[in-house]
């Protein structure tokens, strides 16, 4: 696994601790004919593994039945809330201020970090609220007790939820009213699939949010 620089894809690093926001996780797949394919972004890489090794550790429900196809679509709905909506929400500035206004205030007052922190906090709160709303809509009464996002096993949605929740907790996001999402997160983070690969256990992990 490498991290390619989006500004120059000829540059890459293999040490997670030295990467920046411009670097994205990239999987280089070498084919039997000697050619290779670069697959960028974590979700796309996981989808590739899902298709390449469907029986190893499936992250999407089986597509053998119509109901399971709906479940697969639902998993992707949850994934998009995390993978897409967080970025879109963070690009929205607080009411009453434009991007230029925020930039000007940051340069004059030195409060750039506070502005960024505020946007991130609001973004994660809104995204997690949307996640719980979809959870309640999709699972009905079961949303009050379920330990996984879709079905009764880990899916790609759960894999995306855990790091998002980690960041939300680090930002101090108010979890009031998000009890269902919090319950799933608290259950997942105790499972070996997550504890064994906790970034805090790896010396090269990037500790910057």
Q: In what order do the strands lie in the sheet with 2-5?
A: 8-13, 2-5, 23-30, 36-40
Spatial CA neighbour of 181 closest among 207, 208, 160? 160
109 inside domain: no
Write out the H or E segment, with its range, that includes residue 36. Answer: strand 36-40
Answering whether pTM is above 0.75, one says: no
CB 29 within 8 A of CB 36: yes
Asked if residue 118 and residue 36 are part of one domain, the reply reads no
Same domain for 132 and 196? yes
Copy the structure tokens of residue 148: 């996984």
- pLDDT tens across 56-83, in order? 888 988 766 667 889 999 999 999 999 8
Are residues 122 and 167 both part of a single domain? yes
Task: Answer whether residue 17 is part of any domain.
Answer: yes
CA distance 187 to 208: 25
**Which domain, by its residues, includes 75?**
66-94+114-201
Q: Is residue 181 part of a domain?
A: yes
pLDDT confidence of residue 135: 97
Is 80 in the same domain as 177?
A: yes
Residue 53 lies in a domain: no
Instruction: Report the pLDDT value the prediction gives residue 65, as an integer from 0 to 100.
Output: 67
The per-residue pLDDT for range 5-55, each reduced to its tens digit, is: 444 444 444 444 444 444 677 888 888 898 988 888 888 888 898 888 888
Q: Are residues 142 and 78 in the same domain?
A: yes
Tell me how many domains the chain contains: 2
Q: Can you give the pLDDT at residue 64?
A: 67
Are 25 and 78 in the same domain? no
Res 2 pLDDT > 90: no
Residue 25 sits in the same domain as residue 70? no
- At 99-152, the pLDDT tens digits run 443 344 334 344 567 887 888 888 899 999 999 999 999 999 999 999 999 999
Q: Taking phi first (over 0 means left), then psi (-120 to 50 degrees means alpha), and beta for anything else, what does residue 140 get?
A: left
Residue whose token pair is 């930039």: 103
pLDDT given at position 31: 87
Query: Which residues, in sequence order, are bridge partners of residue 5?
Result: 8, 23
Whether residues 79 and 169 share a domain: the answer is yes
27 and 120 inside one domain: no
**What pLDDT does residue 151 have?**
93
Helical segments of 35-155, H only: 42-52, 66-80, 86-90, 99-109, 112-139
Q: Please report, for the domain that includes residue 131, its CATH number.
A: 1.20.1050.10
Q: 150 and 78 in contact (C-beta within 8 Å)? A: yes
């Amino acid at each position: 696994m490498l991290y390619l620089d989006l500004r120059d894809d000829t540059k890459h690093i293999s040490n997670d601790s030295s990467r920046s926001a411009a670097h994205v996780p990239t999987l280089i797949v070498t084919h039997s004919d000697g050619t290779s394919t670069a697959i960028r972004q974590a979700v796309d890489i996981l989808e590739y593994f899902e298709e390449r090794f469907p029986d190893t550790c499936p992250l999407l429900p089986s597509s053998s039945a119509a109901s399971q196809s709906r479940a697969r679509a639902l998993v992707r709905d949850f994934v998009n809330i995390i993978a897409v909506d967080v970025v879109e929400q963070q690009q929205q500035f607080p009411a009453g201020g434009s991007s230029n206004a925020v930039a000007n205030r940051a340069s004059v007052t030195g409060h750039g970090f506070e502005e960024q922190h505020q946007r991130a906090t609001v973004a994660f709160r809104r995204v997690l609220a949307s996640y719980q709303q979809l959870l309640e809509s999709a699972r009905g009464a079961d949303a009050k007790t379920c330990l996984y996002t879709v079905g009764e096993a880990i899916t790609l949605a759960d894999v995306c939820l855990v790091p998002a929740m980690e960041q939300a907790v680090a930002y101090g996001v108010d979890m009031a009213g998000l009890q269902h999402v919090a319950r799933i997160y608290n259950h997942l983070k105790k499972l070996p699939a997550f504890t064994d690969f906790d970034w805090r256990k790896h010396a090269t992990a990037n500790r910057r949010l």
